[in-house]
Structure 1
Amino acid sequence: MGAHVSRTDFEWSTSDEPHASRRKEILEKYPQIKKLFGSDPNFKWIVSVMITVQMAMIFIVPRFPWPLVIGLAYCFGGVINHSLMLAIHEISHNLAFGHARPMANRILGMIANLPIGIPFSVSFKKYHLEHHRYQGDENLDADIPTSLEAKLFCTTFGKVVWMFLQPLFYAFRPLFVRPLPPSMLEIINVIIQLSFDFTVFYFLGTKALVYLLAGSLLAMGVHPVAGHFISEHYMFAKGFETYSYYGPLNWITFNVGYHNEHHDFPSVPGSRLPQVKAIAPEYYENLPHHNSWVKVLYDFITDPAIGPYARVKRRSKVSKEE
C-alpha cells in the first residue's frame, strides 16, 4: 500500500442540508407517503429473535477453541450485533413502539444493547437526532470526523488504521465535538450493560464475553456490514452529501442502506423505505448511490480522492452551548 494522500480539507457548503426541503417537496407531490409513517409491528419480534440467538451462543462458544470463537465473532456474532446496533438506530427514531410510547422504545433499546456489550443505546439517540437536524454542522454533527482524525488518517495506510479504530472514534468523538451531560437514563443504560457483562464473564467465562465484545468491535471496522458507515455520507461524487445503498445487505440491516430516503423521512421505518423510493422514484434514481458495501470500503481505502476529509461541512449557525 502506498502513502497517497487524499483530500486536505472538507467540502464546505453554504447551503442548508438538502433533506428538509426535499421532504417538503416530495410530500406536496406524494402526500400518501405520510401513510408509511409510524412504528413497524414486526420489528420488536425480529429484534427479540436476534437477542435470543446471541444469548444462546454465549452458552455454546465457551466450548470452542479461541480461533473459532474469534472467527464466529467476526462472521456470525458480529453481524448480529451490528444488526442490533442498527435496530437501536431504528429505536432512536421511536420506530419500535411509536412516538406515543417513548419509554417502551428506550427499554427495548437497552435490551437490544445487551449482546453488543458496550453501553450506547441511550446516548446514541441524542447525538443521532442532532446528526439529522444539523447534518454537516461543524459544531453539532458528531458523525463527521474531527480535523485531527482527517489529518492523521488521510493516507492509504492511515485510512486502513482509521477503519480498524472506527469503533473508538464513534464512541469518543461526541465527547470532544459535542459534550453533553449524561442523563439519568444514560447512567441506567451503563449500569445495566456493565452488570450484564460482568454476569456473562462471571458465570460463562472469558470466551463468552469476548465473543460478544469482539464481534461488536470487529463488525464496526473492516467488515462488509460496516460499509454503511462510509457509504452514507462520505463524498464519492462532488457536492452530494448523502448516498443510498441498494444491495443485498439491506436484508440484515433494517434497510439502513436506503439512506437518502431515511434522512428525507426519518419517521418511516426501515421496512417501508423501499416504498418511499417506489412512490417517488424521480427523486432518488438519479442520485449517486452504491450497490456494494465491500466496494465502498475498497474505494475509500485505495482512492486518494476519498478519505476522512471527504465530507460536506457547513459553518455552524448554532452555538455549542445552546
Structure 2
Amino acid sequence: MGNRVGREDYEWVYTDQPHADRRKEILAKYPEIKSLMGPDQRLKWIVCMMVGIQFLAFYLVKDLDWKWVLFWTYAFGSCINHSMTLAIHEISHNTAFGNSKAMWNRYFAMFANLPIGLPYSASFKRYHLDHHRYLGGDGIDVDIPTDFEGWFFCTRLRKFVWIILQPLFYAVRPLCINPKPVSQLELTNVAVQLCFDVLLYWTWGAKPMVYMLAGSMLGMGLHPISGHFIAEHYMFLKGHETYSYYGCLNLLTFNVGYHNEHHDFPSIPGRRLPLVKKIAPEYYDDLPQYTSWVRVLYDFITDDTLSPYSRIKRKLKGEVKQEIGRSLAPPGQWPWGVAAAVCSSDMDTRPDSLEGVLKVLSADPDGSCAAGRMRVSCRQRGNGNSETELYSNTTASNKNGSF
C-alpha cells in the first residue's frame, strides 16, 4: 500500500485534441449525423420524474431509523443524485429546451440541482464548456487534477482516499486553477438552493438533509458510477486521452459513457449518442474502451503506474479572452453596451476575432443573432447573465471552434 507511483508530472503533448478533426471528418462522410443534434424532448420529463422521486424519498426517510437512512442514502440516494449531476451535464449543452431558449436550460438546471443539496449547476456550465473547447488546456481545463493532487496522492492508500474525496476536489479545483468572477446566475443558484435546503430541514427535519447531502457526497466518491470520472480521460494507455464505456450503467447516466462520441458531438443528446457509433462504427470500434467502471476504479488504485498525474496536458496557443477587449472602441461606443458575447454549446462555427464578434452582433439590433447553427447573444456590462464568455483566439486544442 506504500509503493509510490512512478509518474511525477502530467503527460505533456504538443498536438491538438483529436475530437475536432474527427468530428469534421465524420460529418463530411456522414452528414446525416447533423440530424441527431438538437434538444431531447424526453429529457425534461425524465429529470422531473427523478426530482419527484427524490422528493418522495425525502418524505419517506424522515421517519426511518438512522441505520436505514444511511443504508438508503448509499444504496439509492447516491445513485439518483449522481445521475442528477449528469442530467445537469446534459442540460449544460442546452439539450433540454434547445439553444433558442438558453436561459430556460439554465433555470431548469437549477431545478434539477435541488435534490443534490449543493449549488452546482450554474458554475458547472461555465467551466464545463472550457473542458470541451480546451481539453487538457493548462490553466483552463479544471477537470485536470492540480499539481498537489498528483504529488500527494501517489500511493495506493492515498489514491483510495483521493477517490473518496473526489467531490471536494471537484469543488475546490476551479478556485485553484481558473477562478472566475461570480456571475448573477451563480448567485441565483446559491439563493435558490439555500432556500430549498432550509425549507426541507424546516419541514421534515435532519434525516432528509443527511440523505440528500450524504447521498451527493457518497455518489460522487467511492461509488460504482463515479468510475466515469476516471474512465473518461485518465491515460490508461499512452497517447489516448478520451475513452468510452459501453456498459449497462449508461442507463443511469444519460450515456455519459459514450465519451468519445460526446466530445466529438457535444450538441447531440446522450440518448442519441449510440446512434453516432452505429452510423460511424469505423471511427469508434477500434478506440480503447471500457466495460466496467468498477474495474476502472480498482485498476486505478492498484496500478502503480497510474495517479492523478495520468492526464494529457497541453499548452494553449494564444490568450483565452473572457471579456471583449477595449481595443476596437471605448466601452461607451459598443452597441447596446455589449461587454461580452455569449455562445451556445453546439455551434458549428464561431467568430475567431473581435471584428467577427462585432459583425455577428450588429446583424440584429436585439442582440440575438443566428448564423447557421450559431446563436450569439449579448449582455449589458456588469449584469453577469452570460452563459459563457467568448473565447476569441484559437488554441492548440481546437482550431475549428467547436465545443
Q: How far is the alpha carbon of 1:262 from its aligned partner? A: 0.1
1:47-92 Cα offsets, whole Å, 9 max, x none, are: 1110000001111101111121111111101101111100000000
TM-score normalised to the size of structure 1?
A: 0.98
Name the CA shift for 1:28/1:149 in 2 (closer, same or farther; >3 Å). same
Q: Provide Cα deviations, 1:216-268, integer angstroms capped at 9, x if missing partner.
A: 00010110010100000001111000000000000010000000000000000
Secondary structure of the structure 2 residue equivalent to 1:25: helix
Partner of 2:161: 161
Compare CA radii of gyration and give the structure with the larger one: 2
Once the two structures are superposed, residues 105-162 of structure 1 have per-residue CA deviations (whole angstroms, 9 ceiling, x without a partner) of 0111000000000101011001000000000011100000011111010111110111
**Aligned-residue offset at 1:182:** 1.0
Q: Which residue of 2 aligns with 1:9?
A: 9
Question: Does the CA contact (< 8 Å) of 1:139 and 1:320 recur in 2?
Answer: no
Decide whether the 8 Å contact of 2:5 with 2:306 is kept in 1: no
Equivalence for 1:285: 285
2:256 aligns to what? Answer: 256
Assess if the C-alpha contact under 8 Å between 1:13 and 1:312 holds in 2: yes
Residue 186 of structure 1 corresponds to which residue in structure 2? 186
Partner of 1:12: helix, strand, or coil? strand
Structural mapping, 1:227-242, within 5 Å: 227-242=227-242
Q: Work out whether 1:201 is the aligned partner of 2:232.
A: no
Do residues 91 (structure 1) and 91 (structure 2) align?
Answer: yes
Shift of residue 3, structure 1, vs aligned partner:
2.9
Letter in 2 for 1:144: I
1-structure distance, mates of 2:30, 2:69:
50
Structure 2 partner of 1:128: 128
Equivalent in the alignment of 2:389:
none
**CA distance in structure 1 between the aligned counterparts of 2:71 and 2:312, rounded to whole angstroms:** 37
Work out which structure has the larger RCO, using CA pairs closer than 8 Å and 6 or more positions apart in sequence: 1
Amino acid at match of 2:133: R
- Give the superposition deviation at 1:320: 6.3
Q: Using the alignment, how far apart are the partners of 1:166 and 1:318 within structure 2?
A: 31
In the alignment, what sits opposite 1:23?
Answer: 23
* TM-aligned CA distance change 1:206 to 1:6, over 3 Å: farther
Q: Secondary structure at the match of 1:285?
A: coil
Say whether the 8 Å CA contact 1:156–1:302 is kept in structure 2.
yes
C-alpha distance in structure 1 between counterparts of 2:308 and 2:30, whole Å: 36
Q: Could you tell me how far apart the structure 1 residues matched to 2:295 and 2:317 are? A: 36
Residues of 2 paired with 1:134 and 1:321: CA distance? 13
* One-letter code aligned to 2:129: L
| Displacement of 1:6 | 4.2
Query: Is it true that 1:317 corresponds to 2:317 in the alignment?
Result: yes
1:165/1:105 CA distance change after superposition, 3 Å: same
Structure 2 residues not aligned, in runs of 5+: 323-403
Matched residues, number: 322
- Per-residue CA shift, 1:258-290, capped at 9, x if unaligned? 000000000000000000000000000000010
Measure the CA separation in 1 of the matches of 2:273 and 2:36.
8
Tell me what 2:276 maps to: 276
Larger mean Cα displacement after TM superposition, 65-74 or 290-299: 65-74
Shift of 1:202: 1.4
Q: Does 1:226 align with 2:226?
A: yes
- Cα shift at 1:293: 0.3
2:3–2:304 CA contact under 8 A, matched in 1: no
The DSSP-based 3-state class of the residue aligned with 2:100 is: coil
What SS is found at the alignment partner of 2:99? coil
Q: Which amino acid aligns with 1:10?
A: Y
Q: What is the CA-CA distance between 1:321 and the residue it aligns to?
A: 6.7
Contact 2:258 2:273 in 1 (8 A): yes
In the alignment, structure 1 segments of 5+ residues that lack a partner are none
Quote the residue 1:115 is aligned against: 115
Q: Distance in 2 between matches of 1:151 and 1:164?
A: 17
Runs of 4+ off more than 6 Å: none
Instruction: Name the residue aligned to 1:145.
Output: 145
C-alpha contact 1:178 1:320 (8 A) present in aligned 2: no
- TM-score of the pair, normalised by structure 2: 0.79
Shift of 1:316: 2.6
- In the alignment, which residue of structure 1 is the partner of 2:355? none
- Determine helix, strand or coil for the equivalent of 1:173: helix
Q: 1:28 to 1:321 in 2, by over 3 A?
A: closer
The Cα shift of 1:212 comes to 0.4
Identity of aligned residues (%): 59
* Contact 2:230-2:297 at 8 Å conserved across structures: yes
C-alpha distance in structure 2 between counterparts of 1:319 and 1:162, whole Å: 32
Which residue identity lines up with residue 38 of structure 1 in the other structure? G
Tell whether the 8 Å contact from 2:84 to 2:112 is kept in structure 1 after alignment: yes
Over aligned residues, Cα RMSD in angstroms? 1.0
Shift of 1:305: 1.3
Q: C-alpha distance in 1, partners of 2:52/2:228?
A: 25
Q: Which amino acid aligns with 2:121?
A: S
